[in-house]
């Protein structure tokens, strides 16, 4: 049966409004499977499961004058072959060359006249199947991306039986401009009336709780504003405007070692992740001579605010937190302790929840205004990117370190499944995520875990960070040093206990 119409939220729509040629906002990466699968078999595999993800067969229906955010409607012209592409790799290609080819496939923006996803099969590796996935951020966040991968995969080499759709899929025609306009007006009136009634009912039933939530939100907003006002370090990956090219490096580390570090020194797995990542970034700055004395990083860390019943929903249900930590290279155990204190302070203050409530207020902003701001901003970014490319400048350490605001980069930690996944009997060996650079921030790090491994996906603009492999080395070194400290810390009490027993 046809899927239900879905109007984008303000957060979902923002990924469309603020997308530019130099900073596309699709997400995805490269999936590497064991063994070789033919293009025909891959198409059959997707065809029998496509109905499990209704959004895959829906396209944007924009509203005249941007009176409201676009809806996703069943696409009567949907053809699977428009979304599955094949590429032949040259004989004897190396793994770095495969990643380079995958990046070139990944970079172009998606066609908005069709459902906002593409899968590319890279053929020619005798013992591997490589799939490059692209899906627009307006449709998914990190958690829903993982859930979608699980939904389309199996937990066994033997593919599970997929029940066909209850009824044949016969989508109606797309709504015309007048229908879209009338629908937008109706939805706006219903949303405003619903929001007003919910607020009134909550205040009447629980006036004390409503007042407390408002007070907590105002307090958290004040704390967040004070934090964001603190200056941060200048970095080479923020010394220009991002272009459309990407470079990439992958760190792969045992997930059990992260548990061992946490058990030895405290904190959370995410605190350990941020420790390893920021120490690597601090060493990168030191290596290139960028002044960091007394300066700090500020990271943008997305936080899922999905309720349990929303786990399989697509769309974005995320808030943000902005932890700060030293931009100087320091003792790793000390760094972990400081980061643990920082993230605990942020959680205690309720900043992610406050950010979520403030984000919901964005639904009150007129869509036309947000769309206009997006067009102005993206055109300015594309122009600045073209000028920066033409000048061909290379980031150099500043003579004087000036106060800088904003964030230094995005670090998003998305937990995955810790058992193998399979596609038509082919085991998923690992995956990469090519997400990160955009605007004036030329470096980003999605962090994922899968099948007892932790992955740091270092994605950069090669003009602003021409040596992303150097950053990888510093991150790997930081992990090894912290892991070895944890092993020694765990071994010491055992030795002392044995001596005492004698």
Confidence at 2, pLDDT banded by 50, 70, 90: very low
The pTM assigned to this predicted structure is: 0.88
Report residue 153 as tokens.
Answer: 């995969």
> Cα separation of 5 and 184, whole Å?
12
Picking from 116-120, 209-213, 232-236, which range would have the lowest pLDDT averaged per residue?
209-213
DSSP string of 144-163? HHHHHHHHTSBSSSSPPPPP
Q: In what order do the strands lie in the sheet with 58-61?
A: 6-7, 71-74, 58-61
Residue 197 pLDDT: 56
> Cα separation of 132 and 99, whole Å?
10
DSSP class of residue 67 equals S
Residue 495 pLDDT: 40
- If one compares 355 and 426, the residue with the highest pLDDT of the two is 426
DSSP class of residue 76 equals T
Confidence at 323, pLDDT banded by 50, 70, 90: very high
Judged against a pLDDT cut of 70, whether residue 360 lies above it is answered with: no
Residue 496 pLDDT: 37
Residue 490 pLDDT: 82
Query: Could you tell me the CA-to-CA distances from 81 to 26, 33, 55, 308, 412 in Å, in that order?
Result: 20, 21, 16, 34, 32
Give me the sign of the Cα torsion angle 71, 72, 74, 80. positive
Q: What is the mean pLDDT of residues 282-286?
A: 98
> Cα separation of 275 and 278, whole Å?
5
Fold of the domain spanning 230-501: Chloramphenicol Acetyltransferase (3.30.559)
Residue 42 pLDDT: 95
At 195, phi and psi to the nearest 5? -65, -40
Q: How many CA within 13 A on the CB side of residue 305? A: 19
At 409, phi and psi to the nearest 5? -170, 165
- If one compares 351 and 426, the residue with the highest pLDDT of the two is 426
Digit-coded pLDDT (tens) for 141-169: 888 899 899 999 999 999 998 888 777 88
Confidence at 97, pLDDT banded by 50, 70, 90: very high
Residue 469 pLDDT: 97
Confidence at 187, pLDDT banded by 50, 70, 90: confident
The three-state secondary structure class of 444 is strand
**CA-based R_g, the chain, Å:** 24
Q: Which residue has the tokens 């599970």?
A: 160
Q: Where are the domains of the chain?
A: 230-501
The strand pairing partners of 411, in sequence order, are: 445
267: left (phi over 0), alpha (psi -120 to 50) or beta: left
Number of Cβ atoms within 10 Å of the Cβ of 99 = 19
C-alpha of 127 from chain center: 29
Q: Rounded to the nearest 5 degrees, what angle is found at the Cα of 303, between the Cα atoms of 240 and 5?
A: 95
> In sequence order, what are the residues at sequence separation of 6 or more whose Cβ sits closer than 8 angstroms to the Cβ of residue 450?
416, 417, 418, 421, 428, 430, 431
Residue 210 pLDDT: 57
Number of Cβ atoms within 10 Å of the Cβ of 287 = 14
Residue 240 in contact with residue 393, Cβ under 8 Å?
yes
Q: How many CA within 13 A on the CB side of residue 444? A: 23
Residue 449 pLDDT: 96
Report residue 278 as tokens.
Answer: 């920021």
At 329, phi and psi to the nearest 5? -70, 125
Judged against a pLDDT cut of 60, whether residue 369 lies above it is answered with: yes
Residue 417 in contact with residue 150, Cβ under 8 Å?
yes
Number of Cβ atoms within 10 Å of the Cβ of 152 = 17
Number of Cβ atoms within 10 Å of the Cβ of 373 = 14
Judged against a pLDDT cut of 80, whether residue 358 lies above it is answered with: no
Number of Cβ atoms within 10 Å of the Cβ of 324 = 20
Residue 87: exposure state from Cβ atoms within 10 A (0-12, 13-18, ≥19)? middle
Q: Which residue has the tokens 């970079």?
A: 107
DSSP class of residue 364 equals G
Q: What is the mean pLDDT of residues 410-415?
A: 93
Please, what's the largest Cα pairwise distance for the chain? 88
Residue 246 in contact with residue 107, Cβ under 8 Å?
yes
The three-state secondary structure class of 414 is strand
147: left (phi over 0), alpha (psi -120 to 50) or beta: alpha
At 174, phi and psi to the nearest 5? -70, 145
Residue 143 pLDDT: 86
Digit-coded pLDDT (tens) for 16-50: 999 999 999 999 999 999 999 999 999 999 999 99
At 480, phi and psi to the nearest 5? -60, -45
Q: How many CA within 13 A on the CB side of residue 182? A: 5
> Cα separation of 390 and 463, whole Å?
12
Residue 194: exposure state from Cβ atoms within 10 A (0-12, 13-18, ≥19)? exposed
């Amino acid at each position: 049966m046809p899927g239900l119409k879905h109007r984008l939220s303000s957060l979902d729509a923002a990924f469309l409004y603020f997308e530019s040629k130099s900073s596309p906002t699709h997400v995805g990466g490269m999936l590497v499977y064991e063994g070789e699968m033919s293009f025909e078999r891959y198409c059959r595999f997707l065809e029998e499961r496509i109905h499990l993800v209704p959004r895959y067969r829906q396209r944007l229906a924009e509203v005249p004058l941007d009176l409201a955010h676009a809806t996703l409607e069943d696409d009567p012209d949907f053809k699977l072959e428009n979304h599955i592409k094949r590429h032949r790799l040259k004989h004897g290609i190396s793994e770095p060359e495969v990643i380079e080819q995958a990046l070139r496939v990944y970079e172009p923006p998606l066609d908005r006249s069709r459902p906002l996803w593409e899968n590319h099969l890279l053929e020619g590796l005798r013992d591997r199947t490589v799939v490059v996935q692209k899906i627009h951020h307006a449709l998914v966040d990190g958690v829903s991306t993982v859930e979608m991968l699980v939904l389309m995969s199996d937990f066994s080499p033997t593919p599970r039986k997929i029940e066909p759709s209850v009824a044949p899929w016969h989508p109606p025609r797309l709504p015309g401009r007048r229908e879209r306009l009338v629908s937008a007006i109706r939805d706006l009136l219903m949303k405003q009336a619903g929001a007003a009634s919910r607020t009134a009912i909550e205040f009447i039933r629980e006036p004390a709780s409503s007042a407390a939530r408002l007070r907590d939100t105002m307090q958290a907003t004040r704390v967040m504003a004070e934090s964001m006002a603190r200056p941060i370090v200048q970095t080479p990956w923020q010394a220009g405007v991002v272009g459309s090219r990407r470079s990439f490096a992958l760190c792969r580390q045992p997930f059990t070692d992260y548990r061992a570090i946490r058990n030895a020194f405290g904190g959370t797995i995410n605190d350990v992740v941020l420790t390893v990542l920021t120490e690597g970034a601090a060493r990168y700055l030191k290596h290139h001579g960028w002044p960091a004395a007394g300066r700090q990083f500020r990271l943008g860390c997305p936080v899922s605010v999905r309720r349990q019943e929303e786990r399989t929903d697509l769309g974005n249900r995320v808030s943000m937190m902005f932890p700060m930590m030293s931009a100087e290279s320091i003792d790793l155990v000390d760094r972990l302790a400081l980061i643990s204190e920082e993230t605990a302070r942020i959680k205690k203050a309720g900043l992610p929840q406050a950010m979520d409530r403030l984000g919901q207020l964005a639904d009150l902003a007129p869509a036309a205004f947000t769309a206009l701001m997006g067009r102005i901003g993206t055109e300015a970014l594309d122009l600045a990117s073209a000028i920066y490319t033409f000048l061909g400048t290379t980031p150099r350490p500043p003579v004087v370190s000036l106060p800088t605001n904003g964030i230094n980069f995005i670090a998003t930690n998305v937990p995955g499944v810790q058992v193998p996944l399979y596609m038509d009997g082919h085991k998923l060996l690992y995956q990469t995520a090519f997400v990160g650079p955009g605007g004036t921030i030329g470096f980003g790090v999605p962090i994922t875990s899968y099948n007892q491994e932790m992955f740091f996906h270092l994605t950069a603009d090669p003009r602003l960070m021409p040596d992303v492999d150097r950053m990888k080395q510093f991150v790997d070194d930081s992990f090894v040093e912290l892991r070895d400290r944890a092993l020694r810390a765990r071994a010491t009490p055992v030795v002392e206990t044995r001596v005492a027993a004698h």
